[in-house]
């Protein structure tokens, strides 16, 4: 199967690889996995509490090229968005942007789930404050 040039670009030059301090109250962490292929994806956002805007996003993914590209793209899109806007990102947007073939659609689902998990974690922390 041939990867699209955008997938290859994200795979070879992944954006925003790394991690943010998990215990920072403004950081939300999402850790999700796709059991069938064994992929695991960690995605983190840091939200500016004054504006509600995501000012930093990081990821680390162990999996195939499409999973890495999906999460790399997701972090690019997350920066500068509000939490609400972040939740509007749908896996199909990722599929279209990266031209993912049908067998790799679940990688984009994983990225969407990671975004939701990260934001849910952030909100849980804020409501606990």
- Hey, which residues are catalytic here? 37, 107
CB of 62 to other proteins, least distance (A): 4
Residues 6 or more apart whose Cβ sits within 8 Å of residue 50: none
Six-digit token string for 122: 């952030």
Q: Please, which residue, 38 or 49, has the CB nearer to other proteins?
A: 38
CB of 42 to other proteins, least distance (A): 6
CB of 105 to other proteins, least distance (A): 8
Q: Please, which residue, 97 or 112, has the CB nearer to other proteins?
A: 112
Task: Give the N- to C-terminal CA distance of the chain in Å, as an integer.
Answer: 48
CB of 96 to other proteins, least distance (A): 19
Q: Please, which residue, 49 or 123, has the CB nearer to other proteins?
A: 123
Residues 6 or more apart whose Cβ sits within 8 Å of residue 11: 3, 65, 68, 69, 72
Where does this chain bind other proteins (CB under 8 A)? 31-38, 40, 42, 60, 62, 106, 109-110, 113, 117
Q: Please, which residue, 20 or 53, has the CB nearer to other proteins?
A: 20
């Amino acid at each position: 199967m041939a990867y699209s040039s955008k997938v290859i670009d994200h795979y070879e030059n992944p954006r925003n690889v790394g991690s943010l301090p998990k215990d920072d109250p403004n950081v939300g962490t999402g850790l999700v996995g796709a059991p069938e292929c064994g992929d695991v994806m960690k995605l983190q956002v840091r939200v500016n509490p004054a504006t509600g805007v995501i000012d930093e996003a990081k990821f680390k993914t162990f999996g195939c090229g499409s999973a890495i590209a999906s999460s790399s793209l997701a972090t690019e899109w997350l920066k500068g968005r509000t939490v609400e806007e972040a939740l509007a990102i749908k896996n199909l947007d990722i599929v279209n942007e990266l031209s993912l073939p049908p067998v790799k659609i679940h990688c984009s689902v994983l990225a969407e789930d990671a975004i939701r998990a990260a934001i849910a974690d952030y909100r849980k922390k804020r409501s606990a404050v």
